[in-house]
């Protein structure tokens, strides 16, 4: 009798553990396996890596406004679901969501394979997800620095390459890579962040020529400060003062400008008149002057 109860308990425990494990996998790594969702082939798709919030969401909204269906990628499933609900209730588009960490080795390939299997009518790829912050090289653990390189550079390179067959098939098509004004010159305080953004700018310039014959246009968004989180507000005010405040562009405007200029096939996109003017000087001044200037700015103690 006791053996019978023990067996029943073990079987129940086994099933409960299995169900729990399955639920947490879905939460961590969610990808839609249904096909019905793709009945709408009337509108083309834009895939936005990092499209659940911030600049990525603003780009998603500007795309939806132009009747593009969307595929949004981010880690947090709840934020993705909220973004999908907001966009689908405001625009007549279908929004697909994929919860994945783009810094993982296989994520970009799995996403691309999923799009290819579903034969998505993909016309636009936006590589937005990125990691930075006030702390950088010398003050971060090596694993965090590797994460920055993997997310900012590797995921962009892999998604662009693996989705190339679909973009080519649906050409004319577009790739929008998100760098930063921080990529125009070395910033000692954010040395690795500015280096990853410089790599995105350089790569985008070259890729633009490599893909010209395939009718795929490549653009690179290089915004100044955009108030997407409190740390950016504080850093901008502390370090850049009056200049910083003039450079700030509202996130919605950044998304709208990025999409409008991507479709106009612009290479470098700097939203905001003031930031654009500053960026012209940054791009013509010698890098050693700018590194020295940024070094002085970086030494300013943060205000309490």
Ligand X SMILES: NC(=O)c1ccc[n+]([C@@H]2O[C@H](COP(=O)([O-])OP(=O)(O)OC[C@H]3O[C@@H](n4cnc5c(N)ncnc54)[C@H](OP(=O)(O)O)[C@@H]3O)[C@@H](O)[C@H]2O)c1
| 78/180 Cα distance (integer angstroms) | 27
> Could you list the residues that contact ligand X (CB under 6 A)?
50-56, 73-76, 79, 101-103, 128-130, 132, 151, 178, 180, 223, 225-226, 228-229, 232
**How far apart are CB 290 and ligand X at their closest, in Å?**
17
Q: How many CB atoms lie within 10 A of CB 165?
A: 13
Nearer CB in complex with ligand X: 75/118: 75
**How far apart are CB 20 and ligand X at their closest, in Å?**
22
Q: How far is CA 253 from the centre of its chain?
A: 17
**How far apart are CB 1 and ligand X at their closest, in Å?**
51
Nearer CB in complex with ligand X: 80/166: 80
**How far apart are CB 151 and ligand X at their closest, in Å?**
5
Element (H, E) at 47: strand 45-49
Nearer CB in complex with ligand X: 41/202: 202
**How far apart are CB 39 and ligand X at their closest, in Å?**
26
The strand ranges marked E within 56-161 are 69-74, 95-99, 122-127
C-beta separation of 46 from 63 below 8 A: yes
Nearer CB in complex with ligand X: 225/272: 225
Nearer CB in complex with ligand X: 151/192: 151
297 sits in the region (left: phi over 0; alpha: psi -120 to 50; else beta) called: alpha
């Amino acid at each position: 009798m006791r053996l019978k109860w023990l067996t029943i308990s073990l079987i129940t425990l086994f099933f409960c553990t299995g169900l729990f494990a399955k639920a947490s996998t879905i939460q961590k790594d969610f990808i839609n396996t249904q096909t019905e969702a793709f009945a709408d082939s009337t509108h083309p798709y834009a895939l936005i890596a990092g499209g659940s919030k911030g600049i990525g969401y603003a780009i998603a909204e500007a795309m939806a406004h132009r009747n593009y269906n969307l595929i949004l990628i981010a880690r947090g499933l709840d934020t993705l679901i909220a973004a999908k609900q907001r966009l689908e209730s405001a625009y007549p588009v279908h929004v697909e969501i994929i919860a994945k960490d783009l810094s993982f080795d296989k994520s970009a390939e799995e996403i691309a394979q999923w799009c290819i299997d579903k034969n998505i009518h993909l016309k636009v790829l936006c590589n937005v997800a990125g990691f930075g912050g006030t702390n950088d090289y010398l003050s971060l653990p090596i694993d965090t620095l590797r994460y920055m390189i993997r997310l900012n550079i590797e995921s962009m390179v892999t998604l662009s390459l693996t989705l190339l067959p679909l973009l080519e098939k649906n050409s004319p098509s577009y790739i929008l890579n998100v760098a930063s004004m921080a990529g125009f010159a070395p910033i000692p305080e954010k040395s690795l962040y500015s280096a990853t953004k410089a790599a995105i700018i350089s790569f985008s310039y070259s890729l633009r020529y490599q893909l010209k014959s395939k009718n795929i246009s490549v653009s690179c968004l290089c915004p100044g400060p955009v108030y997407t989180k409190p740390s950016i507000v504080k850093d901008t005010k502390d370090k850049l003062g009056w200049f910083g405040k003039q450079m700030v562009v509202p996130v919605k405007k950044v998304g709208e400008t990025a999409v409008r200029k991507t479709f106009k096939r612009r290479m470098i996109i700097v939203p905001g008149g003031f930031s654009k003017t500053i960026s012209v000087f940054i791009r013509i001044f010698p890098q050693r002057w700018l590194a020295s200037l940024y070094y002085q700015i970086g030494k300013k103690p943060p205000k309490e």
